[in-house]
Amino acid sequence: MGQYPFYWVDAFTEEPFKGNAAAVCLMNTGLSDSLYQNIAAEINLSETAFTEKIGESEYKLRWFTPVLEMPLCGHATLATAHILFSTRNEKSPISFHTKSGVWKAEKKQGGIRLTFPTLQSTKVEPPVELLKALGVTAPLDSLYEKSVGAYIFFLKDEKAIESVEPDFEALKKVTQKLSILGAAVTAKGSGKYDFVSRVFAPGVGANEDPVTGVAHCMMGPIWASKLGKTEMCAYQKSKRGGELRLELVGDTVFITGKAVTLIEGSISV
C-alpha cells in the first residue's frame, strides 16, 4: 500500500466554496487505470487529476470523472498547476503531457495561464429532444463541436441563461442516445463580462458543471468572431460561479484563472 498526496482545490476563483472543485493526486508510475477510476469515483468530484513528474517542469496528467476518463479538462489542469506552483515550488511554465497533447501552465500576475487548443464548432439543426430536455426553446444559434461531443446554444440574454432549468434525467438519456458529453448555453454578458454561460453534462457525472475550461475553448472562438475581439472576460453562471479570462492567438486559447486550496491530505491505496 502506498500513500499519495491529495488536494481539494477550488478553481477559477479566489474564494473557497466557489468556482469548480477538483481533486489533485500526485502519483507514482505504474498504477492501473482501474485504480485511478476507483479513486475518482470515491472522491466523487466532477474531475480528479492524476499527475506524475517526468522531468524538470514536465508532468504526465490525466483527468477522470466519477465514471470515465476525459480527453481534456480545464479546471483540473488549473488546480494541478496551482498545487505544483504552491506546494512543490515548480518552475514556470509547466508542461503537461496528456492523451490530447502537451499543454502548458504559466504563472502570471493575474493568476495561472493555461495554453489550450481552440475547438471549432459548426452550425447545426438542434436536436429537438435535446432542447426539450434542457428546457430551451428557439435558440438564436445552435452549434456542435465534434471532437468533444457537445452542443452550444446561444440565447438572447443573461436572464434567459439564468432561467434554464433542465430535466436532468431526460437530459442524461438524450446525451447517451446522441453519444455526446453534454450541452452549453451562452449569451452576451454585461458589465465587465463579454459573455456568460452554463454547462450541463449529466452523462459524465456532472448535472451542471460549475466552471468548464474546455467549454470556453469552444465558445471563445465563436464569441471572438461575434464581438470582434480576441481578449475577453467570461463568467460561468452556475450556482458557484467562476471567472475566466481568454486570449485567442491563432489556434490557441490562453485561459487565465485563479485557484484556492481547500483540503490537503493523502490517499492510502
Give me the DSSP letters along 242-257. Answer: EEEEEEEETTEEEEEE
CATH 3.10.310.10 is right for the domain spanning 3-116+256-268: yes
* pLDDT for the residue numbered 63: 97
pLDDT value at position 72? 93
For the record, the C-alpha cell of 135 comes out as 428546457
Peptide bond into 166 cis (omega under 30): no
User: What gap in Å lies between CA 106 and CA 61, rounded to an integer?
Assistant: 16
The pLDDT tens digits for 63-76 are: 999 999 999 999 99
Residue 1 has pLDDT above 90, yes or no: no
Distance CA 46, CA 74 (A): 12
Render pLDDT for 122-156 as a digit per residue (tens, 0 to 9): 999 999 999 999 999 999 999 999 999 999 999 99
Residue among 248, 233, 218, 210 nearest 11 (CA): 210
Give the least confident one: 4-13, 78-87, 204-213, 230-239. 204-213
Mean pLDDT of the chain: 95
pLDDT at 205 over 90: no
Which among 14, 15, 42, 47 is annotated as catalytic?
Answer: 47
**pTM to 2 decimals?**
0.94
- Predicted confidence band of residue 230 (pLDDT cuts 50, 70, 90): very high
255 has a pLDDT exceeding 90: yes
Instruction: Write the class of the CATH domain 122-249.
Output: alpha beta
User: Count of alpha carbons within 13 Å of 140, Cβ hemisphere only?
Assistant: 11
Where in the chain is CATH 3.10.310.10? 3-116+256-268, 122-249
Range with the poorest average pLDDT among 116-120, 199-203, 204-208, 233-237: 204-208
What is the rounded CA–CA span in Å between residue 217 and residue 234? Answer: 12
- Long-range (24+ apart) CB contacts under 8 A made by 94-99 are 94/57, 94/58, 94/59, 95/57, 95/58, 95/59, 96/51, 96/59, 96/60, 96/61, 97/54, 97/58, 97/59, 97/60, 97/61, 98/60, 98/61, 98/62, 98/63, 98/71, 98/72, 99/62, 99/69, 99/71
Residues in the chain: 269
214 phi, psi to nearest 5 deg: -65, -35
- Distance between CA atoms of 62 and 67, rounded to whole angstroms? 14
Burial call 146-182: b when 16+ CB within 10 Å, e when fewer: eebbbbbbbbeebebbeebebeeebbbebbeebebbb
Widest distance between CA atoms in the chain: 55
- pLDDT for 59-114, tens place per residue? 999 999 999 999 999 999 999 999 999 999 999 999 999 999 999 999 998 899 99
Residue 267 has pLDDT above 90, yes or no: yes
Q: In the chain, what percentage of residues exceed pLDDT 70?
A: 100
Measured N-to-C along each axis, helices 74-87 and 213-227 cross at an angle, to the nearest 10 degrees, of 110
Reply yes or no on whether the pLDDT at 206 is more than 90. Answer: no
Asked if 171 contacts 133 with a C-beta cutoff of 8 angstroms, the reply is yes
259-268 and 3-11 beta bridge pairing: antiparallel
Band (pLDDT 50/70/90 cuts) for residue 35 is very high
**258 pLDDT tier (thresholds 50, 70, 90):** very high
For residue 203, what pLDDT band results from cuts at 50, 70 and 90? confident
Told to judge if 47 belongs to the known catalytic residues of this protein, a careful annotator would answer: yes
| Per-residue model confidence (pLDDT) at position 237 | 97
φ and ψ at 87, to 5 degrees?
-115, -20
